[in-house]
Structure 1
Amino acid sequence: MKTTGNTIFISGGSAGIGLAIAKKFNAAGNKIIINGRNEERLQSALKELDNAVAIQGDLSVQADRIDIAKQLKSNYPNTNIIINNAGAAFLNDLSDSNGNSAEKAYQEINTNYISVIDFTALTLPLLLQQEEAAIVNVSSIAVFRSNKYLPTYSASKAALHSYTQGLRDTFSENEGLNVYELYPPLVNTEFSAEIGGANGIPASEVADELFAALAKDQFEVPVGDTKKIHALVAHVTEQVSH
């Protein structure tokens, strides 16, 4: 897929991995549209980008999803890449009966999975009008192995992973629409600070890997430590008929 001359919508684009991706693709000559819940953070991020724009809104809210999809269709009809990067994660101790585990899981599933399905469905008509288009779902190394700190977050990303595979299969015969999955490991961002993000890789490394993957139509994009796990899993799953 071409890596320049695109119009790219990035959810969660005001910081962390989303902003790193925005910077990488912006520098390569792409029109960038960033999205986030906080207008102040969006405006701050725009100062680090050239000729980019922002659409404020919370994609975990259905009304906002509908409104953002309408704005893309009306104001940015050339949008041909959607990067579903916005996410929610909570430390969730399943041994604590008073820890509100189900509510945390609900928010994670809604943001990381349900909202992606709905927003993708809302933007598909626009993407299918383009000569060349792509959907990029940002999952996680956690899809392959959960842990006691982020069990429900991991489950939500595993659901996103399964959905992404099904979406790719659905459009496998459509040469104009490609479906990518980006698997970051622990990344040093504000989002991951509570779980030791300072020990993670820089967000720019994730952006670099995605850029390279689009250039060579590599639909599975493991990053850093995820590459080792992905190689083992892919070897097995490739033997299973779809």
Structure 2
Amino acid sequence: METTGNTVFISGGSAGIGLAIAKKLNAAGNKVIINGRSEERLQGALKELDNAVAIQGDLSIKTERLKIAEELKNNHPGLNIIINNAGAAFMNDLSDVNNNAAEKAFEEINTNYISVIDFTTLTLPLLLQQEDAAIVNVSSIAVFRSNKYLPTYSASKAALHSYTQGLRDTFSGNKNLNIYELYPPLVNTEFSAEIGGANGIPALEVADELFAALEKNQFEVPVGDTKQIHELVIPITEQAPH
């Protein structure tokens, strides 16, 4: 698709991967709308962008999703790309019965999966009005293999991955709407600091890979270490009936 002249909404756009993507698309001549829970962080991010817009709100809360979708409809009718990037992750020791594992999992599944489905549904009518539109779901290398540190986060991203495949199949006959999935590995951001993010790749690398994929209409977007796993797994899963 065209990588300039778009109107792009990015959840979790005030820091990390979301802000890196916002900078990349902003510099390429797109109208960027960033979203986050903290107004202070959003205002700080806007200082690093040119003529961008911020919409404060927590997409994990139904009433705020409705508010944000309505604001997009009323004030940004040209919206043609949404990037579902906001996420929640917790170290979750399943061997510790006092760990509140289910509560952590609930927040992860709500933020990383349920809210994405609902917000996508809310914005679909606007996207379907456009001649060239896209939905980008940011999943993770973790969709392919969980671990003992982030078992429930990995499960929530695996659910998002499965939903994204189904969404792509649903709109496979619509040439005006394309569904992308971005698979970052460990990335050096504040979000991943607790799990060794300092050893990860820079967020800019993720943004660069997504930008290149949009240019090429490459709907599967593995980044860094994810590429080797993706190359092995996806061709096999694509052979399954769907």
Q: Normalised by the size of structure 2, how large is the TM-score?
A: 1.00
Aligned to 1:36: 36
Aligned AA for 1:193?
A
State the 1:197 CA deviation. Answer: 0.1
Q: Distance in 1 between matches of 2:207 and 2:100?
A: 34
Aligned to 2:183: 183
Aligned to 2:93: 93
State the 1:237 CA deviation. Answer: 1.4
Provide structure 1 residue ranges, at least 5 long, that are not aligned to the other structure: none
Aligned AA for 2:60?
S
How far does the alpha carbon of each residue in 1:163-198 deviate from its partner, in whole angstroms, 9 at most, with x for none? 000000000000000000000000000000000000
Aligned AA for 2:29?
G
Provide structure 2 residue ranges, at least 5 long, that are not aligned to the other structure: none
Aligned AA for 1:163?
Y
Aligned to 1:124: 124
How far does the alpha carbon of each residue in 1:58-117 deviate from its partner, in whole angstroms, 9 at most, with x for none? 000000000000000000000000000000000000000000000000000000000000
Aligned to 2:214: 214
Aligned to 2:5: 5
Helix, strand or coil for the counterpart of 1:228? Answer: helix
Aligned AA for 2:187?
V
Q: Distance in 2 between matches of 1:31 and 1:189?
A: 24
Runs (4 or more) in structure 1 with deviation over 4 Å come to none
Aligned to 2:169: 169
Aligned AA for 2:24?
K
Aligned to 2:112: 112
Aligned to 1:57: 57
Tell me how many residue pairs correspond in the alignment. 242
Helix, strand or coil for the counterpart of 1:29? Answer: coil
State the 1:241 CA deviation. Answer: 2.6
Aligned to 2:103: 103
Aligned AA for 1:201?
I
Q: Cα RMSD between the aligned structures?
A: 0.4
State the 1:240 CA deviation. Answer: 1.8
Helix, strand or coil for the counterpart of 1:137? Answer: strand
How far does the alpha carbon of each residue in 1:145-164 deviate from its partner, in whole angstroms, 9 at most, with x for none? 00000000000000000000
Aligned to 1:79: 79
Give the percent of matched residue pairs that are identical in Structure 1 and Structure 2.
83
